[in-house]
């Protein structure tokens, strides 16, 4: 069952999960976090710990960067309008069910489709399988996600778990040729216009040179031939240049043919200069190229799909594992330096716990309930396994922060996560209550609400940890001692664990012999009159309050009559 959290404990849980979520690369991975919601099942906690201990080792430096390159490859079932499938009457139903393209039994209806597939010999032979009818649907998503495949391959190497992505990439590589051709087809107009321009330029150059050779001696020869009526010689002169131009045209065409992978004849032989390709010829070429390419793409895709299909289940598995890896890298980053707590029957103890949301916190060691043998911090001899602790001490000493830290450690432990401490032991809880001090609300309404929440937390049985931040602020001190005293007795009788922040430590201690009183103390004042606080509570000792320290400081500094008065006040403090 889930560990029950009251609203303020739940808010701490939310803070923790949003910290982890902020370290995820993929939004989808946050689903994983839901498997780790706090539980009161000891076996489950231990199972999660065991899993995380192992799994967090798989996270290696650089993993996050690789995960950033991964996109989820979606194979969608599209209806392809460029093909028809000719089948036998008996196969029609199955073929239509594939839902991949038009289906017919009549070969005549196949006209107009660039791609004709058939199970009965009227086109490219296929079996009624998606991978044969529409192999592009397998290959294209993979081709477009080569970056993801490369990342998966590297992740496989990094984690040592291997990957099928490398093999898939190898199979895919021949697809590059047809993709190149598709690109070429897209820029056919520019390609041809460029060739046309280039060719005209070369012809023009040739003609210019030709006109130059005609000057001088050639001109005299030419005139002589003209006079003699030797037209044949004149024509041969021109034919020579005509031949050269034709050579150039042929050369240009064979270059284009090579690029397009198809024999083309584009330039008119009638009009040699300027050469010009009529638009309808370009269109004709485009149609032909498109048709050829369709078949080529299909054939290549089919060949590749055949090889790649058996690898897809493993690829899917790898992709879904990416979420897990992403989750793990986020957890690892968040829990850097944390330790897995021992899971015990009850109570909570930790050494050098570090508050999650205070920057550079002073580490604090704390224990509620049974004291582990390793809990040997200074003053630990004053800890006697008390279940109920009253936390007292200086203003802004860190009392609230300590309750928060206890909540954080408890929640993380119940998630099966490591906790921010050097060592920790956490008893399995059924319920965790955290009551913050209600700062701005005063009056009977606030008191009533607070009292009701407190009492409600004491109902029933089970393992409970109840953390209460200064209850008396909303009632009179005298009444508070009576109320808190009785309620803590109930908690004690029921074996619940309680930490309550109170300034009434002294009075409560008299009422509650079973409780321990801890104190967070100011070590003194710095040169700016600021308190120097030791965040580590002193076990079994009331925390000196701030006013006392200030009086002490003034008493030390003052002279004469004033000093005497300060000392008298100070003595009053010391008496109690």
Residues of the binding site:
393-400
- Which residues are within 8 A (CB) of 472 and not within 5 positions of it... i.e. 6 or more apart? 480, 481, 484, 502, 503, 504
In the complex, least distance from residue 442 CB atom to ligand ATP, rounded to whole angstroms: 16
In the complex, least distance from residue 317 CB atom to ligand ATP, rounded to whole angstroms: 45
Of 332 and 535, nearer to ligand ATP (C-beta) is 535
Report how far residue 529's alpha carbon sits from residue 430's, in angstroms, rounded to the nearest whole number: 45
Residue of the chain from 400, 458, 525, 558 that contacts ligand ATP (CB under 6 A): 400
Of 110 and 356, nearer to ligand ATP (C-beta) is 356
Report how far residue 16's alpha carbon sits from residue 559's, in angstroms, rounded to the nearest whole number: 53
Stretch that binds ligand ATP, among 337-345, 357-365, 456-464, 485-493 (CB under 6 A): 357-365
Residue span 9-38 as binding mask against ligand ATP, x where in contact by CB under 6 A, dash where not? ------------------------------
362 binds ligand ATP (CB under 6 A): yes
Of 37 and 352, nearer to ligand ATP (C-beta) is 352
Residue count of the chain, please give it: 576
Report how far residue 322's alpha carbon sits from residue 59's, in angstroms, rounded to the nearest whole number: 11
- Specify whether the CB–CB gap between 363 and 474 falls below 8 A: no
Which two tokens mark 504? 């009434």
422 half-sphere exposure, CB direction, 13 A CA radius: 10
Stretch that binds ligand ATP, among 142-150, 361-369, 376-384, 424-432 (CB under 6 A): 361-369
Stretch that binds ligand ATP, among 25-33, 65-73, 182-190, 359-367 (CB under 6 A): 359-367
* Long-range own/partner contacts, residues 242-248 (CB < 8 A, 24 or more apart): 242/272, 244/206, 245/203, 245/206, 245/272, 245/273, 246/272, 248/199, 248/202, 248/203, 248/206
- Specify whether the CB–CB gap between 259 and 184 falls below 8 A: yes
Of 148 and 502, nearer to ligand ATP (C-beta) is 502
Report how far residue 156's alpha carbon sits from residue 325's, in angstroms, rounded to the nearest whole number: 11
- Specify whether the CB–CB gap between 157 and 60 falls below 8 A: no
Q: Which residue is nearest to ligand ATP (CB)?
A: 398
414 binds ligand ATP (CB under 6 A): no
Report how far residue 458's alpha carbon sits from residue 492's, in angstroms, rounded to the nearest whole number: 10
358 binds ligand ATP (CB under 6 A): yes
In the complex, least distance from residue 362 CB atom to ligand ATP, rounded to whole angstroms: 4
Residue of the chain from 48, 83, 195, 355 that contacts ligand ATP (CB under 6 A): 355
399 binds ligand ATP (CB under 6 A): yes
Report how far residue 383's alpha carbon sits from residue 371's, in angstroms, rounded to the nearest whole number: 7
For residue 85, the cross-strand partners are 103, 117
Report how far residue 349's alpha carbon sits from residue 499's, in angstroms, rounded to the nearest whole number: 13
In the complex, least distance from residue 474 CB atom to ligand ATP, rounded to whole angstroms: 14
* Total residues interacting with ligand ATP, rule: CB under 6 A: 13
Q: Which of 139, 457, 451 is nearest to 311 (CA)?
A: 139
Of 187 and 395, nearer to ligand ATP (C-beta) is 395
In the complex, least distance from residue 57 CB atom to ligand ATP, rounded to whole angstroms: 30
- Specify whether the CB–CB gap between 490 and 517 falls below 8 A: no
Stretch that binds ligand ATP, among 81-89, 195-203, 333-341, 394-402 (CB under 6 A): 394-402
Of 150 and 437, nearer to ligand ATP (C-beta) is 437
Show binding-site residues for ATP: 393-400
Alpha-carbon Rg for the chain in angstroms = 43
544 binds ligand ATP (CB under 6 A): no
* 3-class DSSP state of 283: helix
398 binds ligand ATP (CB under 6 A): yes
120 binds ligand ATP (CB under 6 A): no
Stretch that binds ligand ATP, among 100-108, 235-243, 337-345, 391-399 (CB under 6 A): 391-399
- Specify whether the CB–CB gap between 8 and 434 falls below 8 A: yes
Residue of the chain from 224, 395, 449, 530 that contacts ligand ATP (CB under 6 A): 395
Of 159 and 546, nearer to ligand ATP (C-beta) is 546
Residue of the chain from 9, 364, 413, 498 that contacts ligand ATP (CB under 6 A): 364
Residues that bind ligand ATP (CB under 6 A): 355, 358, 361-362, 364, 395-401, 535
């Amino acid at each position: 069952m889930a560990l029950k959290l009251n609203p303020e404990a739940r808010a701490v849980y939310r803070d923790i999960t949003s910290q982890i979520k902020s370290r995820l690369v993929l939004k989808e991975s946050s689903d994983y976090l839901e498997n780790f919601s706090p539980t009161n099942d000891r076996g489950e906690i231990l199972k999660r710990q065991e899993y995380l201990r192992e799994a967090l080792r798989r996270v290696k430096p650089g993993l996050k960067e690789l995960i950033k390159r991964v996109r989820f490859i979606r194979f969608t079932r599209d209806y392809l309008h460029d093909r028809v499938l000719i089948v036998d009457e008996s196969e029609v139903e199955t073929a239509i069910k594939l839902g991949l393209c038009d289906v017919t039994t009549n070969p005549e209806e196949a006209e107009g489709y660039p791609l004709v597939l058939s199970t009965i010999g009227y086109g490219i032979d296929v079996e009624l399988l998606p991978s044969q009818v529409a192999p592009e649907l397998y290959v294209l998503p993979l081709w477009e996600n080569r970056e993801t495949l490369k990342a998966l391959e590297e992740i496989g190497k990094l984690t040592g778990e291997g990957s099928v992505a490398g093999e898939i990439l190898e199979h895919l590589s021949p697809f590059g040729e047809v993709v190149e051709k598709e690109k070429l087809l897209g820029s056919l107009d520019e390609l041809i216009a460029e060739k046309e321009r280039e060719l005209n330029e070369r012809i023009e150059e040739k003609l210019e040179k030709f006109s130059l050779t005609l000057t001088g001696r050639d001109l005299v020869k030419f005139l002589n031939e003209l006079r003699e009526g030797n037209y044949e010689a004149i024509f041969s002169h021109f034919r020579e240049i005509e031949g050269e131009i034709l050579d150039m045209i042929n050369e240009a065409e064979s270059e284009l043919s090579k690029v397009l992978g198809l024999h083309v004849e584009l330039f008119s032989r009638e009009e040699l200069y300027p050469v010009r390709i009529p638009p309808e010829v370009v269109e004709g070429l485009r149609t032909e190229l498109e048709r050829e390419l369709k078949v080529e793409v299909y054939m290549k895709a089919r060949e590749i799909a055949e090889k790649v299909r058996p690898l897809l289940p493993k690829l899917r598995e790898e992709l879904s594992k990416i979420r897990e890896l992403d989750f793990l890298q986020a957890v690892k980053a968040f829990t850097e330096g944390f330790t897995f707590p021992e899971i015990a029957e009850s109570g909570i103890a930790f050494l050098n716990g570090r508050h999650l949301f205070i920057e550079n916190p002073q580490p604090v060691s704390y224990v509620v309930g049974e004291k582990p043998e390793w809990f040997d911090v200074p003053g630990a001899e004053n800890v006697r396994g008390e279940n109920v602790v009253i936390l007292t001490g200086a203003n802004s000493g860190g009392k609230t922060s300590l309750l928060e830290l206890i909540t954080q450690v408890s929640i993380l432990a119940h998630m099966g996560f490591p906790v921010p401490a050097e060592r920790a032991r956490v008893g399995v809880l059924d319920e965790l209550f955290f009551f913050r001090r209600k700062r701005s609300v005063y009056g009977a309404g606030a008191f009533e609400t607070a009292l009701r929440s407190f009492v409600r937390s004491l109902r029933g049985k089970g393992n409970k940890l109840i953390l209460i931040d200064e209850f008396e602020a909303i009632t009179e001190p005298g009444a508070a001692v009576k109320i808190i005293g009785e309620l803590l007795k109930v908690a004690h009788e029921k074996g619940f664990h309680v930490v309550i922040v109170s300034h009434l430590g002294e009075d409560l201690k008299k009422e509650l012999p079973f409780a321990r009183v801890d104190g967070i103390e100011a070590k003194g004042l710095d040169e700016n009159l600021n308190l120097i606080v030791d965040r580590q509570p002193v076990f079994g000792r009331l925390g000196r309050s701030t006013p006392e320290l200030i009086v002490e400081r003034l008493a030390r500094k003052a002279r004469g009559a004033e000093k005497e008065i300060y000392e008298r006040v100070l003595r009053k403090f010391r008496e109690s």
